[in-house]
Structure 1
Amino acid sequence: MREILKDKDKKLRKFKGRLDSLEDFVNPEWWKYIFDSIYLKTDADVVMDDELTEKEVDIFLEIIKPKKDDRILDLACGQGRHTIEFYKRGYREIEGIDLSEYLIRKAKQRAKKEGLKIKFRKGDARNLPYKDNTFDYVLILGNSFGYFSNASDDYKVLREVFKVLKPYGTLLLDIADGNYVRNHYKPYTWEWIDDKYVVLRERQLSHDKRLLISREIVIHAQKGVIVDQIYSERLYSQSEIEEILKSAGFIDITFHTNLLAQSKRNMDLGLMENRIVLTAVAPKHNIKISPKIKIFNITVLLGDTNLKSDNNYEIESIKQLKIALSKLEGYKFNYIESHKGLFYDLGNLKTDLVFNLCDDGYNNNPKMELHIPALLEVLGIPYTGSPPHTLAICFDKSLVKAIANSLDIPTPDEYLIMPDDTTYNIPANFPVILKPNFGDGSEGIYKDSVVYNPIEFTEALNRLRKQFPDIPILVEEFLTGDEISIGVLGNLPYDYEILPILKIDYSELPEDFPPICGYEAKWDFNSEYYKKIKYIPAELDKDIEERLYDMVLKLYNRLDLKDYGRFDIRFSADGIPKLLEVNPNPGWSWDGKLKIMSEWKGMEYEEMLEKIIRYALKRYNLI
């Protein structure tokens, strides 16, 4: 997560001045730009010190004790300092891979100059270009782990390592000691790195203390500022790195030593100063090629179609669902579409997984949506989507916002009017929007739910109390900025992906229509809302995106969402994003928001559905 203060074509000799929060200026793809000739100057006391490299390799060889003919991958090899030293010691089956074209070119030049036949190639650690079960050892050395903005990418790296390791192959990992860094990092340093260049460093911990944000300003004695660059690296304590390794499937995680680097010129070593060295084993059994492919029996549990036989949209949605699932290989799908005898059907069910798409609730009662996963848990049947307690909490709009506030996530100002309240407050500020506090599908939210004066307020309240006599009514500040939705597939802490952000485009609505996506927009096919509202990709600044991602992941974790979820957010007039709703098990239909966001990420409808299934299968350790 680094922002190189450069334009697209050349480096800017530009100084940005004082920055109170470095985290706000981090580019999530900083690693694409930093590893160049300047990096080899600023980090030279470690990465260009051959004597130090030799000592490190002595330690690594003592730990892993490889055979001379073992296949070894130096992952994130940089300019090849460790790769070349291993090769010189007789390990001729070693090769290196790194994402930096510049550093790979330097590695190739050095190997050629010294007459060493080492294979170096450019590649992404999240998608390694090797067959499964290729290497006896994979090395990630010199604190080359934790560069990506999302921890899920670190997980992807480890899963790729797991795949390319042979059965019971070993990962050797050398990373900064996260706890040491948190307690000993230097906020400000400066030093001459040669006769002409001086580097100024500034460091801060991120707000959650999981990242160290660093700023480097490199100044040339005659040319002035060469680069002003900001980057971040994820910090892992021993327990945190052990957790992610176990999550990726590794066993026998052993912490061997801490490397204490020393600078010959007493320079600032930063994250290289104190590093953890550990090994982990990939416990795969010997692979036997078999023509037989595992077929998963998946039971798709829907709402009761007999109770909504006149709903053409629901009928079409189920039709499109079945067509999409029929395209997937490796699965046998069975469908439960009637809730009559559901207890008996589930009690006698033989299945690998229930694909829980019963967002209508038991007997199509939304209040009983949580009863379906509760029943599946009692019966011990694995299922997709969020657990009962998550559905219960998210059914209560006001409760979700209270939890969000406890996480310092902004929400609209609001208050509740209870069913038995005989008196109530009239809002001091208008406009406001009134809605049922319980429920989904935007039921009860109509054009006249947005009110601009006390008379309209009273009329809307009376209408809602008549329609929902037993439900509290939520009175909420009406936000006038952009409205967006953010979709997440997968499971925290590591195995997840965030979908492209969706914006609701209200620009074609008649002027007297308040910009809301309520019941009419979703279910009244003749309304102006349904006809005029569009969904388009949101165009947001990177720092806003990162803040939004942080918001939704905090909530995803705190509310215990599983496999997939959607978050609805709206900006205030002064640009503050505020949470509207959290949707566990959101709409899965062929034309819904989740499908549209997935499509923008390059997924077909059936691929989105399969991802939900596979995230659940992984969560239950079935794959």
Structure 2
Amino acid sequence: MAASTKSSKIDNNVSLGPVEDLEKYVKADWWRHIFNANYLRTDGDVVEDKTITKDEVDLFTEILSPAQDSVILDLCCGQGRHSLELAGRGFTNLSGLDRSHYLITRARTLNKQQKFNVNYKEGDARKLPFPTDTFDYVILAGNSFGYFESDQDDLRVLREIIRILKPQGKLLIDVTDGSYVKENFQPRSWEWIDKQYFVCRERSLSENEERLISREVITHVKKGVIADQFYAERLYSRNSITDLLSLASFGKIQLHSEVKTESKRNQDLGMMEKRIIVSAVANKDWTPVKISQGQKKTVGVLMGDPNLSDIIKPDGSFDQDDLFTINELKQALANLPGYNFIYFNQHDKLIQDLLKKRDKLDFVFNLCDEGYDNQATKELHIPALLEILDLPYTGGNPQCLAYCYDKSLVRGIAKGMDIPVPKAFVIKPEDISFIDLPLKFPVIVKPNFGDSSFGITQDSVCYDLTTLENAILQVREKLGYNQPILVEQFLTGKDISVGIIGNPPESYHALPIIEEDYGKLPSQLPHICGYEAKWQPDSPYWQITSVPANLPEETEQFLIASCIKLFNRLECRDYARFDWRLDANQTPRLLEVNPNPGWCWDGHLAKMAKIADISYGQMLGKILQAAEERIGVVTPRSRFASLNSVEEALPITLPHIE
């Protein structure tokens, strides 16, 4: 949620033509998709005007009188114009939050360019990713309130603000004057934004007259209609906004001088034309600190079984390198403050061991990427078991692991989301002829089911039918794989990985993007990071290193935005890694999604973290913290208490909006 008002986009940028009832076309979550480059283009004469921003911040600071070391949140901050202005004035403890990935990315870029230290997060104002009793002030500026379809959600936002404010902390809201807009909105308007873009607007009141419904058609002189958008905002009067603040437990509510905005290009200002400024104080006491038993959380660490065979590993079993990696993990975890760790790695008695310790565990760190009984097809059995035992855990749920184990399924989901993938086709076990090959060589052969680069070697890259048939034969006979095989266009561009720790959109950290450096690889070998690079130290592929990716800014933004979409669509949790490759036109194409990616000290995720000056132990700590925030860690005793002790929430009645 950013400043001003916009909406969701019609598929394929096709205009609907004349519409009689605008309200029927407004999506409930219009605010999720609209705040992008078009928003900054159409509203730029206000939200990109430094003089307007300076004047608004002058007014806000005059009302609030904050000290320069005050802890301040710029909520629904858009591209960060108010928080960056405050940073330029010497305020040192600033944060910003917005739902738009595009605008938050821009805010972070500007923050970095200007060498400020504002902490920007992407998230939903109804569920703020900040601890209780954190902020001295929250500023909700630029008419960013009243976007939700339900007024219950507006109340949720205010109650979240109460939670994160310190006792007697102050909120400032800058919201459109609903009474004025009802009487003075323009039913139709149009304007040239510049010599290339033209915008037409239609407006009407909703059926209950509580929201202003707007339509905006943006046209480019050469491209035609690029957006046909519908959006809606609730119209608060002075009385209704103060009533809502009172219901949310704010006190000392004050109405301040109005804000009137002028456009340098004489634009139709719509909801930004005349606004109400309201301040209020959080009527609350300090929240009691909850101390868990023994001051430390007890975490079960669930791993593969070193006493069982594992067909993924070169010798079919755990070797000295595996044991060294496990010891590095245990040492790193032992150095994390605030935790006690209990390890579970004997699968023949795993259920019994978990039942014995269940009442002592706060949650489980699921590092069993080998799968139950070290069988990759049973990786999803582990979280399924934890759910049956009602034990919270880190990482993907069974459905997520099932999705991502199937490469062709992930490809189909990505294509449906307009995320590019390489051209490919699937060979079923009964297929024996490839005369009508639908792809041009070179291609790469991959088992459709699996991870850890199982079945992907230098011989998987094929340059003609003969090498293709040999590669398929090798997977079928040598590896005993009798499942569908994916034959994919082999891309020769940069080999890229993107890592995310956290849970978008509320709170996440996109790690530095890395690419594989094939500079030391003999020229005759294909550039792939396959099985040899991960499991065979005597292979030339062991020389591959990972380095920071050298990519254009717009490519990085596209990659991170796409990964966040996939993260949410595939139900990843707490951390994930996404593998991409650039094609001949430098377009990134998705290869795989890895929920619960490799946790090893020298794995890809750890390499990304190291580039960001995050140690191996700190990386593990961030994953644990992400899980704690998501599941809301409670003491084991309360988790297994009788359900009869749970109280039913009382219904909420909201004041009538004038």
TM-score with structure 1 setting the length: 0.67
Asked if structure 2 preserves the Cα contact closer than 8 Å seen for 1:253 and 1:279, the reply is no
Structure 1 101/494 Cα, relative in aligned 2: closer, same or farther at 3 Å? closer
What residue is the counterpart of 2:373 in the other structure? 363
Within 1, Cα distance between the matches of 2:327 and 2:87? 54
2:398 counterpart of 1:388: yes
Unaligned runs of 5+ in 1: 3-20, 49-77, 108-119, 146-156, 192-198, 206-211, 215-234, 240-250
> How much does 1:267 deviate?
5.3
Aligned positions, number: 492
Secondary structure, aligned partner of 2:95? coil
For 1:315, which of 319, 323, 335 is the aligned residue?
323
> How much does 1:84 deviate?
1.9
Q: Deviations over 1:242-269 (max 9, x none)?
A: xxxxxxxxx9499x99x99655786543
> How much does 1:136 deviate?
6.9
Asked if structure 2 preserves the Cα contact closer than 8 Å seen for 1:487 and 1:567, the reply is yes
For 1:525, which of 531, 534, 537 is the aligned residue?
537
Q: Deviations over 1:422-452 (max 9, x none)?
A: 4444535110111111111101111111010
> How much does 1:398 deviate?
0.7
Within 2, Cα distance between the matches of 1:104 and 1:263? 20
Within 2, Cα distance between the matches of 1:312 and 1:95? 53
Asked if structure 1 preserves the Cα contact closer than 8 Å seen for 2:447 and 2:475, the reply is yes
What residue is the counterpart of 2:521 in the other structure? 509
For 1:83, which of 52, 57, 61 is the aligned residue?
61
Secondary structure, aligned partner of 1:347? helix
What residue is the counterpart of 1:353 in the other structure? 363
Within 2, Cα distance between the matches of 1:105 and 1:419? 62
Within 2, Cα distance between the matches of 1:102 and 1:296? 38
Aligned ranges 1:111-510 → 2 under 5 Å: 121-126=91-96, 133=133, 138-143=138-143, 165-167=165-167, 171-174=171-174, 188-189=191-192, 252=248, 262=260, 268-269=268-269, 272-273=272-273, 286-287=286-287, 294-307=295-308, 310-348=318-356, 349-350=358-359, 351-425=361-435, 427=437, 428-466=439-477, 467-510=479-522
Q: Deviations over 1:279-332 (max 9, x none)?
A: 999797635579987310000000001126641221111000000001011100
> How much does 1:274 deviate?
7.1
Q: Deviations over 1:564-585 (max 9, x none)?
A: 0000000111111110000000
What residue is the counterpart of 1:229 in the other structure? none
Asked if structure 2 preserves the Cα contact closer than 8 Å seen for 1:100 and 1:122, the reply is no
What residue is the counterpart of 1:544 in the other structure? 555
Within 1, Cα distance between the matches of 2:165 and 2:158? 11
Within 2, Cα distance between the matches of 1:300 and 1:96? 36
Structure 1 406/100 Cα, relative in aligned 2: closer, same or farther at 3 Å? closer
What residue is the counterpart of 2:597 in the other structure? 586
Structure 1 524/561 Cα, relative in aligned 2: closer, same or farther at 3 Å? same
Report the residue type matching 2:469 in the other structure: T
> How much does 1:601 deviate?
1.5
For 1:611, which of 622, 630, 644 is the aligned residue?
622
Asked if structure 2 preserves the Cα contact closer than 8 Å seen for 1:101 and 1:122, the reply is no
Secondary structure, aligned partner of 1:573? coil
Asked if structure 2 preserves the Cα contact closer than 8 Å seen for 1:22 and 1:204, the reply is no
Asked if structure 2 preserves the Cα contact closer than 8 Å seen for 1:137 and 1:169, the reply is yes
Within 1, Cα distance between the matches of 2:521 and 2:134? 58
In angstroms, what is the RMSD of aligned CA positions? Answer: 4.9
Report the residue type matching 1:343 in the other structure: I
Structure 1 559/589 Cα, relative in aligned 2: closer, same or farther at 3 Å? same
Secondary structure, aligned partner of 2:493? coil
Secondary structure, aligned partner of 2:525? coil
> How much does 1:272 deviate?
2.4
Asked if structure 2 preserves the Cα contact closer than 8 Å seen for 1:185 and 1:203, the reply is no
Asked if structure 1 preserves the Cα contact closer than 8 Å seen for 2:303 and 2:344, the reply is yes
Report the residue type matching 1:346 in the other structure: L
Q: Deviations over 1:100-158 (max 9, x none)?
A: 79955998xxxxxxxxxxxx73553258899985877634334589xxxxxxxxxxx99
Structure 1 423/595 Cα, relative in aligned 2: closer, same or farther at 3 Å? same
Asked if structure 2 preserves the Cα contact closer than 8 Å seen for 1:83 and 1:96, the reply is no
Secondary structure, aligned partner of 1:121? coil
Structure 1 397/482 Cα, relative in aligned 2: closer, same or farther at 3 Å? same
Within 2, Cα distance between the matches of 1:602 and 1:25? 35
> How much does 1:497 deviate?
1.4
Asked if structure 1 preserves the Cα contact closer than 8 Å seen for 2:380 and 2:397, the reply is yes
> How much does 1:508 deviate?
1.7
Identity %: 40
Asked if structure 1 preserves the Cα contact closer than 8 Å seen for 2:497 and 2:515, the reply is yes
Secondary structure, aligned partner of 2:384? helix
Within 2, Cα distance between the matches of 1:236 and 1:520? 55
Within 2, Cα distance between the matches of 1:347 and 1:278? 54
Within 2, Cα distance between the matches of 1:464 and 1:23? 46
Secondary structure, aligned partner of 2:94? coil
Structure 1 176/479 Cα, relative in aligned 2: closer, same or farther at 3 Å? farther
Within 1, Cα distance between the matches of 2:462 and 2:566? 30
Asked if structure 2 preserves the Cα contact closer than 8 Å seen for 1:361 and 1:370, the reply is yes
Structure 1 444/497 Cα, relative in aligned 2: closer, same or farther at 3 Å? same
What residue is the counterpart of 2:613 in the other structure? 602
Within 1, Cα distance between the matches of 2:167 and 2:217? 37
Within 1, Cα distance between the matches of 2:83 and 2:200? 29
Within 1, Cα distance between the matches of 2:422 and 2:278? 47
Structure 1 570/278 Cα, relative in aligned 2: closer, same or farther at 3 Å? farther
What residue is the counterpart of 1:559 in the other structure? 570
> How much does 1:171 deviate?
3.6
> How much does 1:420 deviate?
2.5
Asked if structure 2 preserves the Cα contact closer than 8 Å seen for 1:86 and 1:94, the reply is no
What residue is the counterpart of 2:22 in the other structure? none
Q: Deviations over 1:15-42 (max 9, x none)?
A: xxxxxx9967999xxx9xx999x621xx
Secondary structure, aligned partner of 1:299? strand
Within 2, Cα distance between the matches of 1:131 and 1:310? 42
Structure 1 470/404 Cα, relative in aligned 2: closer, same or farther at 3 Å? same
> How much does 1:421 deviate?
2.6
Asked if structure 1 preserves the Cα contact closer than 8 Å seen for 2:249 and 2:283, the reply is no
Within 2, Cα distance between the matches of 1:159 and 1:581? 40
Asked if structure 2 preserves the Cα contact closer than 8 Å seen for 1:296 and 1:330, the reply is yes
